[in-house]
Chain A
Amino acid sequence: MRGTAHTRRAAGAVAAVVALAAAGCGGGGSAGGTGGAVLSSSWGDPQNPLEPANTNEVQGGKVLDMIFRGLKKYDPRTGRATDMLAESIDTSDSRNFTIRVKDGWTFSDGEKVTARSFVDAWNYGASLRNSQKNAFFFAYIDGYDKVHPAHGKQSADTLPGLKVVDERTFTVRLNQKFSAFPDTFGYPAFAPLPRAFFTDHAAWLAKPVGNGPYAVESYTKGSQMFLRKWDGYPGDDKALNGGVTLKVYTDNNTAYTDLMAGNLDLVDDVPAAQLKNVAGDLGDRYLNTPAGIIQTLSFPYYDKAWNRPGTEKVRTGLSMAIDRRQITETIFNRTRTPATDWTSPVLGPAGGYKAGLCGRACEYHPDEARKLVKEGGGIPGGQVRITYNADTGSHRQWVDAVCNSINNALGNGRACVGNPVGTFADFRNRIGRHEMTGPFRAGWQMDYPLIQDFLQPMYYTDAPSNDGKWSDGDFDKLVDRANAETDQARSVQLFQRAEEVVRDHMAAIPLWYQNGSAGYAERLSGVALNPFSVPVYNEIKVR
């Protein structure tokens, strides 16, 4: 204790000296650190190096969201894409875009954000040479197949579809019409990068520099990151706190315990085991709000047994045999909401969410379920084996519950069993090698709040996340038309018609929408989760 008192006194003395010096100089400017107190928040070790185009999971994305601002930003409440660094994005044909960057933005190291900052960053992200895991975000840009060929050597270093016009203007040419393309710009992969990223990559990775409301003060990989409010931030979403300390926890139970003991201010993932106590422990300091995540059961359409005519009846029957309401209430303590379409409530009705689009097929009707499965020729192979990875996410509990529900509805104790796979990597591996023989767990976390992102990547023929290899000409055509449509409302309508095709074939069984959860200490206020289930750090106030 004596040590702390000493240091505090010493620090006080230094501050006094600085204050005196500042007063002596007559400088009126506020001397740094105006933001107030710093809060601490739980964090997970990012899986990949922290580069915008290489980060595909929430933990790394959290940091990018704090230290970067792109052309657009998704409103933390509505999820709508609004202009951030973009002064204007013009197009006449939904294929050629002219983008003008706002003046007055800099990176926290003082470098100006220009058109080049974007073009260089996007070229870096797309190039196969840099093996960025999110490279496919640039796949719509003309010439992507040259810098990132599916096979063979890359024949270009930069995307021919990107051109710098002047300091603040650049143009993008796409290889197909995609009217909602500008709305994807809020995704971190599209963030601008400073020169330092390219000139001294290792140093940048050790201490990333961006243009967001926070700047990285220090980063100890695997244990913690200190982020401080960046006083020179020109945006209107300035940080309302002095900074955030992200602490890595291996186990979200320990983070929750630390919150209870007063050693941590914010936990953005309340462990399943604590959901029963959380109301008593935290009261209204517990958040449980919808996020852009939907869980489904996918089917292996490369397996003939699941792809013969009539199996859509079996799939619809299975969907009707799942008592979603009961499972979300008993197993998930209402941190999931039964799904009634294939998107997410965070899109809102204007964005394409349509409650009840699935209709009776997503309701629990055991008698009808039995009838449909029978009409469809029975379960292929006589038994449904739901494959899942058993290492994370407590999937075992809900898979067992889904199977129980199916078994009860069909009146057959052996109609459905779970089929656990040891690790997530192995699970993904088997999916990639098309080794699934029955339905398998699929979770989709949106990249950007667009209905397009919930449908095209998963159900379009040969799309990157179409793990079941479902293919339907009508669906593809409707998606193409929707992408080409410049009027947003009409585009959404077309996407919903495509979604109806998914429903009629029951291409995948929607299970439930996942909520984001968080708990926080009494000294915080203004805590909210954005549609990506990440806390809106800059709006948090610390008492």
Chain B
Amino acid sequence: MGRYVLRRLLQMIPVFVGSTLLIFLMVNVMGDPVAGLCGERQCDPATAARLKQEFGLDQPVFPQQYLAYMGRVFTGDFGTAFNGQKVTELMATAFPVTIRLTVVAILLEIVVGITLGVLSGLRRGRPVDTAVLLLTLVVISVPTFVTGLVLQLLLGVKWGWIRPSVSPDAGFGELLVPGLVLASVSLAYVTRLTRTSIAENKRSDYVRTAVAKGLPRRRVITRHLLRNSLIPVVTFIGFDIGALMGGAIVTERIFNIHGVGYQLYQGILRQNTQTVVGFVTVLVLIFLVANLLVDLLYAVLDPRIRYA
């Protein structure tokens, strides 16, 4: 197990380097960021040159800018955004908010998604199952921004149950609705995955054995059926952690949540290399770690899966 973890950690290095380099090149391919800094007018050449020097944009992108950047990243310096704030400062305000939002979303996925999945999986073909299937179909086919705007309009403006925008503190309570919107599509997938998996395993030998042993129904479902059925679901949720954090752009914009999505959006709009690359680098790391954790969880869920 230890060697496996070590190997996986080593594998992360090329993935990390490759993805950051790609992002770095992609942001820079859009052209000179300083050109947009002065608004509709031309920056005067002397100031533009000085700004480029300040942000290190006067060097060739590869390898000088990239190497210098990576060198600084390893000392914890992610550079400065165009508005003069340290990117690490932006991260310190943005990540906690988005992590809270992701936690809400993931919890909703786990609790609501798996519960619905188990219910419909056990009652396959019954009205409950059909209803859940229809509901998830609707959720999957409607784009997130539509769900978000409709919920915002109904709950926020028409009925006044929530505030349409989230305050800068962004506490868990305020993030419930945005979290639901963010989770909605994945939640539907989790439900469907669980349902299929449960329905399949319900007829397997070990469940029949467990029932034949006279185990109570509850124990059969939680210890035998669910544990084995959750493997694909856990994979999906683990993968989803990274996807949700990066994909929060739309939801955060609708509910005015100042998290990672907001900073990324601003960074891309202003072509702020330092912000975009910094945030994406951290997101890549989170993604890699989440994937590693998923793989490790396999072993916990199913002892048959042994790693060298």
Contacts and interface: CB of A to CB of B under 8 A. Distances in A.
Nearest to B152: A257
A254 B47 contact: no
Interface stretch (B67-75, B121-129, B159-167): B159-167
A533 B86 CA distance: 31
B205 interface: no
B253 A250 contact: yes
A279 B47 CA distance: 45
A133 B44 CA distance: 8
B30 to A, nearest CB: 5
Interface string A144-175: 00001111000000000000000000000000
A48 interface: yes
A442 B41 CA distance: 9
Contact of A254 (B34, B83, B256, B269): B256
Interface string B141-168: 0000000000011001100100111001
Interface in A111-151: 128, 131-133, 135-136, 148-151
Contact of A150 (B37, B46, B153, B265): B46
B46 A149 contact: yes
Interface stretch (A230-238, A340-348, A426-434, A519-527): A426-434
B46 A47 contact: no
Interface in A405-432: 422-432
Interface in A454-482: 457, 464-465, 467
Given A261-B164, A263-B165, A430-B31, A136 B44 contact: yes
Contact of A251 (B35, B39, B84, B256): B256
B156 A261 contact: yes
Given A224-B168, A250-B262, A429-B31, A443 B83 contact: no
A428 B266 contact: no
Contacts of A135: 44, 47
B173 interface: no
Given A425-B33, A429-B32, A465-B42, A250 B47 contact: no
Contacts of A47: 37, 82-83, 270
Interface string A371-411: 00000000000000000000110000000000000000000
Interface stretch (A215-223, A322-330, A493-501): A215-223
Interface in A75-96: none
B91 to A, nearest CB: 12
Given A423-B271, A442-B40, A465-B40, A250 B256 contact: yes
A149 B165 CA distance: 47
A347 B85 CA distance: 38
A149 to B, nearest CB: 6
A151 B152 contact: no
8 contacts: A47-B37, A128-B47, A222-B258, A250-B253, A257-B152, A263-B164, A427-B36, A431-B35
B37 A133 contact: yes
Nearest to A57: B39
B30 A425 contact: yes
Given A249-B256, A426-B35, 19 more contacts: A46-B83, A131-B50, A132-B47, A133-B38, A150-B45, A150-B46, A221-B83, A222-B93, A250-B256, A254-B253, A257-B156, A260-B164, A423-B268, A425-B31, A427-B36, A429-B36, A432-B43, A443-B40, A467-B42
